[in-house]
Amino acid sequence: MKEIPILAYHKISPQFEFGLTVISPKSFEKQMEFLQQKGYVGCSLRDYLQDPQQNKFAITFDDAYENIYQYALPILNKLGFTASIFVIVNFIGKYNSWDVNLFGIKFKHATQSQLQKLCDSNWEICSHSLSHKALINLTNEQIVNEIKNSKIDLDKMFNVKIDSFGFPFGYYNRSIIKILKEHGYKNGVSSTNNFKNEIPIYGRMGVYKFVDWKRSVYFKINKKHPLNFFETLKGKIIHSVSYLTVLYQKILGKS
Ligand SMILES: [Zn+2]
C-alpha cells in the first residue's frame, strides 16, 4: 500500500468565519488552475484508486457544505476535475449546528438535490457519519449505527456504492476500522496514513486559510518535492488544534 496525494478542503466560500477552514472561491480557483498548469489532474478518491497515474491527485471535501455545490463544482467542472465529498447524513440541507459556531456564524449543508448534481458530474459520494460525533467517544452500538446507517441512507438516496468513510475530526481506533470493513467500506480517510489494519486509511493534506497558497498546495501533492515534509508537519500542527472542537462539543453536550 502506497501513500497517495489527497487534498482535504472544508468550505469554499466568500463568507467570513473565525477559523482556518474557509477558502475563498478565488483562492481555490487559483490553486486548482496552478495545479493544472503543472500538469496535474484532480479527481475523486475512487477514480484515483481505480486508475492511479503519476499526474493525478485526489480532491476531498469534508462535511458537504452547500458552498461546495455553489463555488467548487463550477470551478472543477471548468477544469475537467472531479472530487469526493464526505456527507454528514443527518445534516443534509441543514445548518451546521453540530459545529462550534463562534459568534453565531453558521454554514448550510448541501441538499439532497445539490448532492445529486455532484453525482451527475461524476463526483464520489462518501460517508462522514450520521451526526459528526467523534466516534471514539461513543458506545459500540452507537458507532455501528453511525457507520452502517449512513452508508445505507446514502446508497438509497443516490443509488451509488459508498466505499469510503471520513472519520469526524479524524479520530478512530482498530475496532472502528473492523466495523467499517464488516459493513462493506473499502477504505477510510483521516489526516495520516495507516495501512496496518483490515482496510487502508489514507492520510490527506488539509488546505487552510492564511497558511496556504497555490504553491504550498503544489508542495502538498508533489511527494517528491523537498518542501513536502514541511507541509506534512504544518498539517499535523493544525490537525492537533482541531481537537479543541471535540473538547468544546463535550463541554456543550453535543457529543
Ligand atoms: Zn468533518
Ligand 1 centroid to Cα of residue 15, in Å, is 18
Ligand 1 centroid to Cα of residue 62, in Å, is 5
Among 134, 138, 95, CA closest to 249 = 134
pLDDT tens per residue, the chain (255 residues)?
Answer: 788 999 999 999 998 887 788 999 999 999 999 999 999 999 999 999 999 999 999 999 999 999 999 999 999 999 999 999 999 999 999 999 888 777 788 999 999 999 999 999 999 999 999 999 999 999 999 999 999 999 999 999 999 999 999 999 899 999 999 999 999 999 999 989 999 999 999 999 999 988 899 999 999 999 889 999 899 888 888 877 766 766 666 676 654
Residues 6+ apart with CB under 8 A from 14: 24, 25
Q: Which residue has the cell 495507516?
A: 194
Ligand 1 centroid to Cα of residue 166, in Å, is 8
Residue 7 grid cell: 487534498
- 40/48 Cα distance (integer angstroms): 12
Among 193, 151, 198, 153, CA closest to 176 = 198
Residue 90 grid cell: 443527518
- Which domains, from first to last, does the chain contain? 6-251 (3.20.20.370)
Surrounding residues of ion ligand 1, Cβ less than 5 A: 62-63
Ligand 1 centroid to Cα of residue 172, in Å, is 13
